[in-house]
Amino acid sequence: MKPSKELRGAIFDLDGTLLDSLDSWSEVDRRFFAKRGLTLPEDYFGRIKALDLKETACFTKETFSLPEPPEQIVEEWLGLIREEYALRVGLKPYARELLVRLRARGVKLAIATSSSPELFLPALTRCGVADFFSAFVTTRDVGRGKTFPDVYLEAARRIGVLPGECAVFEDLLAGVASAKAGGFFAVAVSDVHSKQEEAELRAAADLFLPDFSAWFCEADEPERKKRRMME
């Protein structure tokens, strides 16, 4: 299934969607909890995945009765993760190929993320795709997390496209649901960290991609059918 209108814009989540970064965040969580003599709960990621850093820090402080203020917790996390983004975090398979193809078709590209520019910009620059995007919007810019469509709506506004002409690529159910609520064509992208909700993602999204190469198969199918009819 493809958008009913011509695709003029594409908005990408970063962590777990465009960037293969969630293992790095899992290691940060492990080290953060180990430093305090705490065991990382199995459901921790599931409970924070739709939150931004400040919201996650507030949740973690309250849940585990930590003495540090949320701002100090955020700074500790950023200190642990900066080097990962700067030196090691890369694009997910076929992500660059998809971005190149979309840009060649004149599709305007944007980022909508709960992450911080000081993290993702070095990674995108090192991967050679930072200048592919016309807008970078974070949940801090709009004041609400991804349980609301605000960050996608603002990204669409900044690149000058209507939601109905724009695809949102997300790996989490909350993001897919919010994109749909905002009137976007919602594309769910599989990630190992969201496997447990894959059935829900498939049901909620307009299109489900096991990886980005599946988008090429969808796009090329009409041409393959045409060639088969001519044989």
pLDDT in tens, 197-231: 899 999 999 999 999 998 877 654 443 333 233 22
137: burial class by Cβ within 10 Å (0-12, 13-18, 19+)? buried
SS3 at position 217: helix
Q: Give the pLDDT confidence of 106-153 residue by residue, as tens digits.
A: 999 999 999 989 999 999 999 999 999 999 999 999 999 899 999 999
Q: For the chain, what percent of residues have pLDDT higher than 70? A: 92
pLDDT for 5 equals 63
Instruction: Please indicate whether residue 12 or residue 39 has the higher confidence score (pLDDT).
Output: 12
What does the pLDDT read at residue 215? 87
Predicted TM-score (pTM) of the model is 0.83
Q: Which pLDDT does position 200 carry in this prediction?
A: 95
d(CA 205, CA 188): 6
| 22-87: in CATH 1.10.150 | yes
Domain coordinates in residue numbering, the chain: 9-21+90-230, 22-87
- pLDDT value at 15 more than 70: yes
Q: Quick one: fold of 9-21+90-230?
A: Rossmann fold (3.40.50)
pLDDT at 192 over 70: yes
In the predicted model, is pLDDT for residue 2 greater than 60?
no
Alpha helices in the chain (DSSP H): 22-35, 44-48, 53-64, 70-87, 95-104, 117-126, 139-142, 150-159, 173-181, 198-204, 213-230
